[in-house]
Amino acid sequence: MTALIRRTARAHATIIAWRIGLMLLVPLALFPVQHAAAAGDAAHGAQVYKTCAICHSIDRNGAGPKHAGVFGRTAGSVPDYRYSVALQKSGIVWNDATLDKWLADPQALVPGTKMFFNLDSAQDRADVIEYLKEQGGNTPQPTP
Ligand code: HEC
């Protein structure tokens, strides 16, 4: 009799172990899918860009440089904008990786830059980068 109870208890323990295993595995299995979905969404990026628009616009310099063609070009290269020396000397080329680092923490990537604005959400960064890509990426700058 006790043997039967012990066996049943062991069977229960096995089932519980399986359940716990599944609870741990299911989120792990789902995570890469969510991660893959984290590729930029330009439409949402346009919404995010509204927070940049306090200082930036696509085709006119303001507190910050204009952004037309920014994806793929060298940092600090809009001819009629006065950059910080730090950004001008950085030699950075704006791509997915450098823009992501920049938007997360410009001061960390380029100490001495005069952009003081951090975009904390990785998804927002990916989306706004996607949006910037659509703003005349790689087109030559018009001469002022
Ligand atoms: C509070 C003002 C401000 C906000 C908000 C701001 N920026 Fe900036 N940004 C600047 C300034 C100023 C510079 C020039 C930095 C320098 O010269 O060191 C700059 C430079 C940049 C550059 C480098 C451009 C180039 O020509 O090399 C990029 C890219 C950029 N900002 C993207 C963004 C994006 C995207 C956002 C919104 C998520 C944003 N910024 C929000 C002020 C701002």
CA distance 92 to 75: 5
Quick one: which atom of ligand 1 is closest to the CA of 99? 29
Q: What angle do CA 47, 48, 51 make, to 5 degrees?
A: 110
Is the minimum distance from the CB of 103 to ligand 1 under 6 angstroms?
yes
pTM of this prediction? 0.77
> Phi and psi dihedrals of 74, rounded to 5?
-80, 140
Span 134-140, average pLDDT: 67
Is the minimum distance from the CB of 68 to ligand 1 under 6 angstroms?
no
Q: Has residue 27 got a pLDDT over 60?
A: no
Q: Has residue 35 got a pLDDT over 50?
A: no
- pLDDT confidence bin for 136, thresholds 50/70/90: confident
59 CA distance to ligand 1 centroid (A)?
14
66 CA distance to ligand 1 centroid (A)?
9
| Each residue's pLDDT tens digit, 38-94 | 579 999 999 999 999 999 999 999 999 999 999 999 999 999 999 999 999 999 999
